[in-house]
Amino acid sequence: MSETVKQIDPREAAFQAHLDADGKIEPKDWMPEAYRKTLVRQISQHAHSEIIGMQPEGNWITRAPSLRRKVALIAKVQDEAGHGLYLYSAAETLGASRDDMVDALIEGKAKYSTIFNYPTPTWADIGAIGWLVDGAAITNQVPLCRTSYGPYARAMVRVCKEESFHQRQGYEIMLQLARGSAEQKKMAQEALNRWWWPCLMMFGPSDADSPNSAQSMAWRIKRHSNDELRQRFVDQTVPQAEFLGLTIPDPDLKWNEEKGRYDFGAIPWEEFYAVLKGNGPCNRQRAAARRKAHEEGAWVREAALAHAEKRAAKAAAAAAA
Ligand code: BYC
């Protein structure tokens, strides 16, 4: 009786042993195709999130309440664009084509963080994004500075430094509103009410429902599970809300003395999956704005290409002379 024995590729065994010893993988190293695909998926989604993430805040640049706030907000939005560009470059080191990634986003085929499909109706939402969205992003991304793929890990180091500045500017906006008039404090509370649950969803489905986590953790792409990071975020953020004198909109939130952490209420996962499927409050608006910006930027890409071609022709002529 013949039996087919699955041969373990020795390269795969060496690859896993290298990861288990906390080694990094660099672009020219051998890697399993599934590892490469997972990284392209995660890094491109991350890049798209940064690019779409410019919209909810960009929408307030012309209405920032002072010159100082406007300068800080412009710088923050510009930083997000920069993060998107580093991340597209990191994905390119894995053989992904930037045109394909950009097309997937424009055509609405690519995922990006659900958080950016929510509206920013008041100035307090800008404070809440900086405090909570960047706070959640930092919680998720600090461990990514140790992710196993070198170019992604290195991009994250700079991204995290900039995100921590963003978070402070958001918290400072919230502090000023919370210590301002009764109307301003109400605005800050309402923004916290709007952003709290969507921020908890940023960490992805609970561990039992996360199809990618186990493999990504074995490959040390992810260093902690979605639920671990979500818990860390809650534990860090509750005292910050208390300092602001604001209330987290969760009647089940309670300190658990025994476990040394906060217990919190049920996350409305049906809302998460609806937003993920394209049915959030702003999904269509975000995609349309991105498409319009891409179309309106066509002349810049053409000019840059014409300039690059002219320089290349000049260099070739000089080399031939
Ligand atoms: N939104 O198996 P799972 C920022 C998807 S930008 C949308 O747990 P994974 C900022 C997930 O992709 C912040 N989709 O997946 C910018 C997967 O779908 P596919 C962005 C989500 O990858 C501007 C499926 O659900 N940060 O900081 O192991 C201004 C199953 O999930 C979401 C990053 O991208 C979501 N919230 O874990 C301010 C960080 N959650 O691909 C701030 C890097 C899950 O199988 N990414 N999905 O079809 C990660 O750490 C991981 O990809 C995730 C998900 C934790 C997000």
Q: Are 199 and 132 in contact (CB under 8 A)?
A: yes
Minimum CA distance residue for ligand 1 atom 14: 113
pLDDT band at 1 (very low <50, low <70, confident <90, very high): very low
Question: Which ligand 1 atom is at minimum distance from the Cα of 212?
Answer: 2
115-137 burial code (b ≥16 CB/10 A, e <16): bbbbebebbbbbbbbbbbbbbbb
**Residue type at position 37:** K
Q: Does ligand 1 lie within 6 Å of residue 133's CB atom?
A: yes
Determine the distance separating the centroid of ligand 1 and the alpha carbon of 317, expressed in angstroms.
48
Q: Are 227 and 206 in contact (CB under 8 A)?
A: yes
Q: Is the sign of the CA dihedral 154, 158, 159, 163 positive or negative?
A: positive
DSSP 25: B
| Closest listed residue to residue 282, CA positions, set 125, 75, 81 | 125
**pLDDT digits over 189-231, tens only?**
999 999 999 999 999 999 999 999 999 999 999 999 999 999 9
pLDDT score recorded for residue 321 = 87
**pLDDT digits over 51-87, tens only?**
999 999 999 999 999 999 999 999 999 999 999 999 9
**pLDDT digits over 225-272, tens only?**
999 999 999 999 999 999 999 999 999 999 999 999 999 999 999 999
Which residues are CB-contacts of 291 (< 8 A; sequence separation ≥ 6)? 106
Q: Does ligand 1 lie within 6 Å of residue 216's CB atom?
A: yes
For residue 141 the two structure tokens come to: 């991304």
pLDDT score recorded for residue 5 = 64
Determine the distance separating the centroid of ligand 1 and the alpha carbon of 230, expressed in angstroms.
13
| Alpha carbons 152 and 43: distance in angstroms, whole number | 8
Mean pLDDT value of segment 7-34: 94
* Other CB atoms within 10 A of residue 166 CB: 25
